[in-house]
Structure 1
């Protein structure tokens, strides 16, 4: 069985040859061309002194040079280290110290930031002649890599501490391709469209998903809610990839002719609120497919376009195991919330640990930090990130469930729930709310709505209307920033303010 990226590239080139594989901007490459480009890019890297095991960082937007380095580094046996383009200052310095890359490709506008962070190796600026490129370099044969050799080092967001570098082996990327392509029911006739950043697992493994079945892949530069459906129509996409706040952002856009003027029929959309599933399908004609995976693991739990349960992540996929445990790591009964632990029977389908830390072993149970419920029939429901659970009056409150209730109000486009300190110890529930365009949001009416959807202890005390939520580069809400800001002069406190203002956008 193929278990390395070069092996997958060669097999796909042999089977799919002249079929289109990837388009980035104005550049389109067939499977045969992508294989030749990987070999030539590896040769260009070798000419610049890069050797198997060396680390090559990339801090750039989605561009063809990025894709070339993904495949070229894997072909050579070098380790690619994609860096979040939002990194700066002490965070960037810490990541560079941890990864110790010998080479770094950077967008021109980010050069100063990288230099100030103290990078000392070879610096290649995208768009200039010094970038390792396939043209003019002799191709080299693929490295004799092993499935557990590190292909990528991907840094976690570090929202609860310093970012950690995850060692992702070749086999993990290949298994991502097999698992997601099977879950989405992809075929060689599909066109995959992603505008998520290539420094994120979701976008990075879109390439291996395509290679497994012979589909083509269109990589766009960035997400635009206002032009999203126009962009996917231009790409001829049949399958798209959504993340974080993208679903409510798209639903919040004014209806228009582009909503259905496309070929998309399915979207991988992890952790989508159950209340958004049907409205999204009815308006855009797209089925949202949920699933659980992480940088450290794989698609362990998932659904398919045919088997859906809105608000649920899915069931355990073949070759994986999952259990729900309490604080002492003892299993809890079905229907009781607890932390999700996962394990793989596939060799090296999970990461081999973090930089500077030992490998937990291929058969070890992995903690996820996610609070879930397993139903008696095997379906899993996401409750919250454990760090985001709100503790109020002796009760654990899921910020995810509070957000789902708030978003169900017709005048709400999006929301983020988080804890703030209480005068009585523990937490109070606060929600940052984005009003829906053209709607008048009455905060007292919103509280009445929440009281009908939530237990009394979970009804928000504090409400803040905001134009937009603070997001990471991958579309996740930066709750740490919301918690740090906390209650402000514009915050409405339902316990002391009898007449809240109405808000309109």
Structure 2
């Protein structure tokens, strides 16, 4: 079946056999070689006692062993559980307890952490002896997995609460490949480059994006703003993959000769601030494509390189239905913010639920927890995560809109808005600001800028200048950390006369 990962790989290898498919570090493989690697890796796993349905976890950086495990488990019918390399302590214990993996591949420096968290199964240390590798035993036939069978359990980042394990079926990955390859207008001549971690759905599904059209895929090292374009050029990439926080980081770097010394012309970059769109294209020559998708769903709403509207996510993709609803789940009018609920006409294009929780029907409506606005012409604008909405004096304040305005100040590189308790009731608006390199941030001027661009109730009361924002391994701001820290002795309160200027030394 082509609606499974083994079916997708087998079909791609049959059509694109000797074309280059994969490069990870010093390892390169054609489509045919990758199919053989998956089949022999499945044999190596089976030799170690792994059976269809068994759970295999991995906690490692981007390396060929991780890709081999991804495709080998899918071929065997085992369930892969990629773990965030930043997990530790109670968070790691909770994830291992929920996932119950029988096998775990771990980076050497993380092995002690995994053992301390209570893992008691068979532990494989990446690069060490005893790790299953392809080519050491005969190939085995692909398992008779079904589209609805779980291929991966992906744990949400847990930035505001305990991480939850999302059951991702084989068909969901296949539909990610079809939908994103269409949105990015990928062809067999494209070279895809991602440095996002393979425990994140964006990077994990890049393999399927390539297989859908016969493109090549380069899996790179961890994101570095200073070396990014150098690595893109080395990969020969025509398409890049970013997350929204990365675009401002790259724009904040000093201009250099490498800004356009590459072949990349398109990039998937969900949640990129609208104000960064044109500067990014003008400086780096890359057209960014936005879209709404999540670990639980698929590319439901998106744009294309030809159809762009900076600041908007896009329009509804073929095969999906959406509604914008209020707290009672009643539809709201165009132009009014509400929660996005989504449905797929394709069976098992969405997750089948969370570990230990009710399994929704394959084409059921799903709540997303995201506030959006649908315009009359069908374009969608993301407003906020519902849990990130700030309630100030009876008004809902979008943290994203506050952040967009603050980032548009020339002395600001990045910002995060979040609620802190008010003496009156509800919330006050606070923002953590990273000054642009070489800039002196005048807080009074920033406040006037906000007052010119935001309604009075949304203008921040508190401002912190910080060297960097606390981020998850996938580049999301850990707003829970900022909320917990709250107002400190160094926080500027606009109800108190400001100092003339403030900058980091």
Give the TM-score of the pair, scaled to structure 1.
0.99
2-side partners of 1:244 and 1:197: how far apart?
15
1-side partners of 2:297 and 2:63: how far apart?
26
Whether 1:484 aligns to 2:492 is: no
Quick check: 200-209 or 240-249, which moved more? 240-249
Query: How many angstroms does 1:358 deviate by?
Result: 2.1
> Residue 227 of structure 1 corresponds to which residue in structure 2?
227
> Residue 248 of structure 1 corresponds to which residue in structure 2?
248
Query: How many angstroms does 1:108 deviate by?
Result: 0.3
Are 2:160 and 2:479, in contact at CA under 8 Å, matched by a contact in 1? no
Q: Could you report, residue by residue, the CA deviation over 1:33-70 in whole angstroms, capped at 9, with x for unpaired residues?
A: 00000000000000000000000000000000000000
Are 2:440 and 2:501, in contact at CA under 8 Å, matched by a contact in 1? no
Query: How many angstroms does 1:286 deviate by?
Result: 0.6
> Residue 157 of structure 1 corresponds to which residue in structure 2?
157
Does the residue aligned with 2:322 lie in a helix, a strand or coil? strand
Are 1:492 and 1:500, in contact at CA under 8 Å, matched by a contact in 2? no
> Residue 128 of structure 2 corresponds to which residue in structure 1?
128
**What are the equivalent positions in structure 2 for 1:66-465 lying under 5 Å apart?**
66-465=66-465
Does the residue aligned with 1:503 lie in a helix, a strand or coil? coil
Q: Could you report, residue by residue, the CA deviation over 1:339-363 in whole angstroms, capped at 9, with x for unpaired residues?
A: 0000000011000001111211012
1-side partners of 2:68 and 2:50: how far apart?
15
> Residue 3 of structure 2 corresponds to which residue in structure 1?
3
Query: How many angstroms does 1:99 deviate by?
Result: 0.5
Q: Could you report, residue by residue, the CA deviation over 1:380-435 in whole angstroms, capped at 9, with x for unpaired residues?
A: 00000000000101100000000000000001000000001111111111100000
1-side partners of 2:262 and 2:469: how far apart?
28
2-side partners of 1:267 and 1:71: how far apart?
25
1-side partners of 2:340 and 2:376: how far apart?
15
Are 1:79 and 1:153, in contact at CA under 8 Å, matched by a contact in 2? yes
1-side partners of 2:310 and 2:498: how far apart?
36
Misfit runs of 4+, over 3 Å: none
Query: How many angstroms does 1:88 deviate by?
Result: 0.5
What is the root-mean-square deviation of aligned Cα atoms in Å?
Answer: 0.8
Query: How many angstroms does 1:504 deviate by?
Result: 5.2
Are 2:178 and 2:212, in contact at CA under 8 Å, matched by a contact in 1? yes
| Alignment gaps of 5+ in structure 1 | none
User: Paired residues, what number?
Assistant: 505
> Residue 28 of structure 1 corresponds to which residue in structure 2?
28
Query: How many angstroms does 1:503 deviate by?
Result: 1.3
Are 1:14 and 1:32, in contact at CA under 8 Å, matched by a contact in 2? yes
1-side partners of 2:487 and 2:126: how far apart?
43
